[in-house]
Amino acid sequence: MTKNCHNDYKMKFSVDEEYPDLSQHNNHMAKVLTKEIYGKLRGKSTPSGFTLDDVIQTGVDNPGHPFIMTVGCVAGDEESYEVFKDLLDPIISDRHGGYKPTDKHKTDLNFENLKGGDDLDPNYVLSSRVRTGRSIKGFTLPPHNSRGERRGIEKLSIEALSSLDGEFKGKYYPLNGMTDAEQEQLIADHFLFDKPVSPLLTCSGMARDWPDGRGIWHNDNKTFLVWVNEEDHLRVISMQKGGNMKEVFRRFCVGLQKIEEIFKKHNHGFMWNEHLGYILTCPSNLGTGLRGGVHVKLPKLSTHPKFEEILTRLRLQKRGTDRTRTHTIVALLILNVLKRNIFVSDGQMRLRVALKPFIQLFPLVRHLVDGKKYQLT
């Protein structure tokens, strides 16, 4: 293993002296980590030098909300999930409903198996999207990337994505190299992602050297996007206006498979194993890493005096629009199969359905499609 001199220096101090104070914390890491586990793992590091303290630091620095259970840890490379499995396996089990170390992940990306979903009511559904993350083998993950490594990921991604054709033909826009006109257009299209400001991300090192090595690629039709070097190496997004989720999912599956094939030809497949599925930075996104959602307009329901009660009864969450749980959540009950999040923005309601990664893909997409049967008035 790569020698980590700072980690060796910390070994001069006892476990009691180095063990973090987690007495006020509400995250999965704090729930699982004990002095015994800390003592067993604190001297270890992955081949790239990622340590236990690197894994847990974001959870130490961010105690969380009393009613919001965050994950509280990140992986720095593919090997983190093996080297620190005594900590991460219980976290994964706790976060993903009892998923065991012996379980094997299943994914079905044959879009033809999805029935329905092409007729979500256009009077309410403004847009539909499906997204996932992917990590490229041979590199560390964003919390541990060096500048040169991050630039290497960007270069490889540009080469791979530029070979897409047909409906996926498009262009790459580096965050630190686009023109003012390009930036204004990406903002108008709601494609541009900003520097992370959430402490959950900044404390894990994912905003270092911003915006160096980051960028956005999208097809000419602006229905298929790839974010490069945000929270994961790649964020793949299929989206379009209206409620044809079936078409969005078809494009997502076809485009994602094409991208994976291209990266394999460049001798850099995606991180994957039969237990965890696709490997990503945050343990919450392991497996398919899939999130599907619709942006809906509910002009009457959103002003109803019993709106909060309705959220609770439907097990919905109202949360901030920064994609991390940094705002007060009113409804805290989450479905076992999927968690639904309602965003309040500009007088409209944005309903996003986050599909639980470790459950097989298609039952969840069907659940999202069937969700249109709720009365949205």
pLDDT digits (tens, 9 = 90+) for 16-75: 999 999 999 999 999 999 999 999 999 999 999 999 999 999 999 999 887 778 999 999
* Mean pLDDT in residue range 255-274: 95
Give the C-alpha separation, 28 to 20, whole Å. 15
Check whether 95 is labelled as a binding-site residue.
no
Which pLDDT value is given to residue 355?
37
* Mean pLDDT in residue range 284-297: 82
- pLDDT top residue among 113 and 85: 85
Check whether 292 is labelled as a binding-site residue.
yes
Check whether 162 is labelled as a binding-site residue.
no
* Mean pLDDT in residue range 117-125: 78
Task: Work out the burial of residue 181: count CB atoms within 10 Å of its CB; fewer than 13 is exposed, 13-18 middle, 19 or more buried.
Answer: exposed
Give the C-alpha separation, 302 to 342, whole Å. 10
Residue 278 confidence class, pLDDT cut points 50, 70, 90: very high
- pLDDT top residue among 207 and 121: 207
Domain 5-95: which CATH number of 3.40.50.620, 3.30.450.20, 1.10.135.10, 3.30.1130.10: 1.10.135.10
Which pLDDT value is given to residue 318?
52
Task: Please state, rounded to an integer, the average pLDDT across all residues of the chain.
Answer: 82
Which pLDDT value is given to residue 303?
76
Check whether 251 is labelled as a binding-site residue.
no
Which pLDDT value is given to residue 311?
66
CB 278, CB 135: distance < 8 Å: yes
Check whether 313 is labelled as a binding-site residue.
no
Residue 247 has pLDDT above 70, yes or no: yes
- pLDDT top residue among 375 and 165: 165
Domain ranges (residues) in the chain: 5-95, 111-373
Check whether 131 is labelled as a binding-site residue.
yes
Which pLDDT value is given to residue 113?
77
Which pLDDT value is given to residue 315?
55
Check whether 294 is labelled as a binding-site residue.
yes
Domain 111-373: which CATH number of 3.30.590.10, 3.60.20.30, 1.20.1080.10, 3.30.420.40: 3.30.590.10
Residue 292 confidence class, pLDDT cut points 50, 70, 90: confident
Residue 228 has pLDDT above 90, yes or no: yes
Check whether 190 is labelled as a binding-site residue.
yes
Which pLDDT value is given to residue 2?
58
Check whether 59 is labelled as a binding-site residue.
no
Check whether 128 is labelled as a binding-site residue.
yes
What are the residues facing 173 on neighbouring strands? 216
* Mean pLDDT in residue range 324-342: 32
Residue 126 confidence class, pLDDT cut points 50, 70, 90: confident
Residue 365 has pLDDT above 70, yes or no: no
Q: Which of the residue ranges 73-77, 193-197, 208-212, 357-361 would you say has the lowest mean pLDDT?
A: 357-361
- pLDDT top residue among 120 and 47: 47
Give the C-alpha separation, 237 to 255, whole Å. 9
Check whether 148 is labelled as a binding-site residue.
no
pLDDT digits (tens, 9 = 90+) for 295-328: 777 777 777 788 778 767 765 555 434 444 433 3
Residue 248 has pLDDT above 90, yes or no: yes
Residue 166 has pLDDT above 90, yes or no: yes
Give the C-alpha separation, 224 to 219, whole Å. 6
Residue 332 has pLDDT above 50, yes or no: no
Terminal alpha carbon distance of the chain: 59
Check whether 367 is labelled as a binding-site residue.
no
What predicted TM-score, i.e. pTM, was given to this entire model? Answer: 0.83
* Mean pLDDT in residue range 229-243: 94
Cis omega (within 30 of 0) for bond into 211: yes
